[in-house]
Amino acid sequence: MPQIHDTDVSILGLGAMGSALAEALVKAGMRTTVWNRSPGKADALVARGATEAASAAEAVRASRLVIVCLFDHDSVHEVLDPLVDDLAGRTLVNLTTTKPEQARQSAVWAAQAKADYLDGGIMAVPSMIGQPGASILYSGSEKAYRENTAVFEQWAAGTYYGEDAGLASLYDFALLSAMYVMFAGFMQGAAMLAPAGVSAGRFAEMAAPWLTAMTGELGGYAEVIDGGDYSVPGQQSLTFSNLSLFIEAIAEEGVSPEPVAMVQRLIQQQVDAGHGTDGFARIIESIKHPGA
């Protein structure tokens, strides 16, 4: 049996992301063992110096640091549940997207298998791995994080958020939620302008600098929210923020006002509760206490 070195890494899952992670390690000269359920996906990596394991068990046994980047929580456990004995004494880093509660379940499961568990949320697309701008959020075993930063640095800027294994996923989903709603806002505007013959490309040129400038407002909203007083002077009130006119105008252009209507529902809930003179940041209360 070949000797295992502390710097050896095994990667299970060679989809778009797992392949990018493996490629960065091979490029850095690390001894990398790879495994994928379907054959053929390791060929390019093997040509560059990776070793392909014949089975997931063989991949786990090949290194002390085992990275999984599979489709979802169920696929991770489908692959790893039969391998609990092989995982004992190893460090398992799960970069598969899972819910916070699933990450916590995996941490408990790994502890029972006597493996050190670190969960990660990748804030990048595969082409960004190893490039500036990529980041990965980690939580779970601090020891696992600190001992393997030399590996993580090959992929992206890493940040460790604490021993609760669910935190990386929680931050990941929070950031992605903000992103998706922003993108839906862009789609709203693009759909409104399309009947006027304005291309989505033209609108993107206008929207990108506008939205970038508007992110300057986030700190101010955060100050109000963290201060806990939505009535501090100098804010745009909820009554002033009423988006009913927008909704009417959008509908008159023959497109759905749904993204804006969603925001108006959050505003209206607070106005109906008697908080119309408070600032716009108060809509966070509609999100924190739905139906209240």
Backbone angles phi, psi at 75, to 5 degrees: -70, -35
- Measure the N-to-C terminal CA separation of the chain; round to a whole number of Å: 63
Binding residues among 8-37 for ligand NDP as defined by CB under 6 A: 13-18, 36-37
Tokens of 52: 């392909």
| Residue 14: CB minimum distance to ligand NDP, A | 5
Which of 71, 180, 210, 240 lies at the binding interface for ligand NDP (CB under 6 A)?
A: 71
Token pair belonging to 254: 């023959």
Laid out side by side, the sheet with 157-160 consists of 51-52, 32-35, 9-12, 65-68, 91-94, 116-123, 135-140, 157-160
Interface with ligand NDP, residue 75, by CB under 6 A = yes
Are the C-beta atoms of 283 and 230 separated by less than 8 Å? no
In this structure, how many other beta carbons lie within 10 angstroms of the beta carbon of residue 5?
11
Residues in the interface with ligand NDP (CB under 6 A) total: 22
DSSP 279: B
Q: Would you put residue 42 in left (φ > 0), alpha (ψ -120 to 50) or beta?
A: alpha
Query: Does 250 participate in binding ligand NDP (rule CB under 6 A)?
Result: no
Does residue 212 bind ligand NDP (CB under 6 A)? no
Q: x/- contact string, 115-134, with ligand NDP (CB under 6 A)? A: -------x--xx--------
Give me the least distance between CB of 16 and ligand NDP, in Å please.
4
Q: Is the Cβ–Cβ distance between 51 and 22 less than 8 Å?
A: no
Quick check: 180 binds ligand NDP (CB under 6 A)?
A: no
Q: Does 168 bind ligand NDP (CB under 6 A)?
A: no
The answer to whether residue 53 forms part of the interface with ligand NDP (CB under 6 A) is: no
Least Å distance, CB 83 to ligand NDP, is 12
Q: Which of 58, 78, 147, 164 binds ligand NDP (CB under 6 A)?
A: 78
> What is the residue whose two structure tokens read 């950031």?
175
Nearer to ligand NDP by C-beta: 106 or 286?
Answer: 106
For residue 258, report the phi and psi dihedrals to the nearest 5 degrees: -55, -45
* CB nearer ligand NDP, residue 115 or residue 156: 156
Q: Which is nearer to ligand NDP, 94 or 268 (CB)?
A: 94
Q: Single out the residue of 1, 3, 38, 291 in contact with ligand NDP (rule: CB under 6 A).
A: 38
Quote helix, strand, coil % in the chain, to nearest 5: 55, 15, 35
Please give the residue ranges that form the binding site for ligand NDP (CB under 6 A).
13-18, 36-38, 41, 69-72, 75, 78-79, 96-97, 122, 125-126
